[in-house]
Chains A and B, each alone.
Chain A
């Protein structure tokens, strides 16, 4: 399983790391995907319950590895909001698998190489790992952004959610492109 995951990530990673990584960053204002992802993350956060009592106190932390535009959009539109009574705190995390505790951890496609280690470290943590590559649910992601008929949607794994102590709301399941039981 771990070997398959590594092979898949290695197959996907070089395409982004070496072949075609944009050298100039995309203008945040025109990064439509980042705008959509930010809203999805906010809505998903509202529709998930963290069973761990410790996660229902303090700030609601959304950690971002890579994807500066998504971080910027979350700060701009959502950082003054709350999830329940928990104020949202958006953190731009360093490019490292040594991730601090957060409710949602998004790893962008530019940092897929970190994922095997991230999954390993997050295995027992009440953190929802969200990413954006094919096969991510098999690897351990709870939510994965997918492109369907030119639209950005999400898929999710209830099995992975359960492992992280997350209860995914019915609405979230109904609106998902695909739900893995």
Chain B
């Protein structure tokens, strides 16, 4: 049994002492079941308790409900079911804090609430790792909702930037898997632009967006084959030039932010090369060659 749970049980047991004798109080029974680790029974009883007039506005009952649902969430499968328990746990803990004007349970409730809110963010990150952007967006939205519910003025910019950058990377990977689906490309561009709206000096977003545009231009040219005639080649080049030109300012900005980063030097070398600007391409190639790799510095 973890420390938070032991504290909770001790706290509730102390405060609920007058009721312990009260036979048939579902809250007391729920606490007993919770102590015994019988979560399913505890859940039924605590649900019953919060519907009774005695406990419906009782922060203690909502705190116990929050803990019962939190612990149930931690072991529940599948994830969809676990998500429902987590939502209920958060809602109960929030209700507890809202009703607890004296602040008796606030610290415990907040600790559990923060844990659950963070778990949304972690799940969003995990979903991105698993390339499941739908779930990632859902989890991140729940994370924000939970954070704002507790503190409407909470600063989430750092998290938003971190998440959206990673989301852009997932969209980019999706696009790279099938470059005929331009929706992924548009979504990736959108994600990086959101990051730059929030944090114009974000190196990763500038570099990634530049690379995305550059690769799209290169991809168009890579598709050229023996059946393409000269007028088509000119059209393809013109289309690719647009992408190379779009890539350039973002890569230059990334370079300005970190002039000794080899990847941006190589990026600029490639963009200028594809823009048929050999002189600038050579300049950045030379700068790239002059800087030793990270591990040798």
Interface residues of A (CB under 8 A from B): 19-20, 22-24, 26, 29-30, 32-33, 35-36, 39-40, 42-43, 77-78, 81, 109, 147-148, 150-153, 171-172, 175
Contact = CB atoms under 8 A, between A and B. Distances in A.
A36 B237 contact: yes
B228 interface: yes
Contacts of A20: 282-283, 285-286
**Main DSSP-derived SS at the A contact region:** helix
Contact of A147 (B224, B234, B238, B278): B278
Contact of B225 (A23, A77, A172): A77
B221 interface: yes
A32 B240 contact: yes
Interface stretch (B93-101, B125-133, B197-205, B269-277): B269-277
Interface of B: 217-218, 221-222, 224-226, 228-231, 233-234, 237-238, 240-241, 244-245, 270, 273-278, 282-283, 285-286, 289
B282 to A, nearest CB: 4
B285 A22 contact: yes
Nearest to A35: B221
Nearest to A177: B234
Nearest to A26: B273
A35 B276 CA distance: 13
A87 to B, nearest CB: 13
Closest 6 CB pairs of A and B: A20-B282, A147-B276, A150-B275, A32-B221, A32-B274, A175-B230
Contact of B276 (A43, A78, A150, A171): A150
A171 B234 CA distance: 14
Contacts of B217: 32
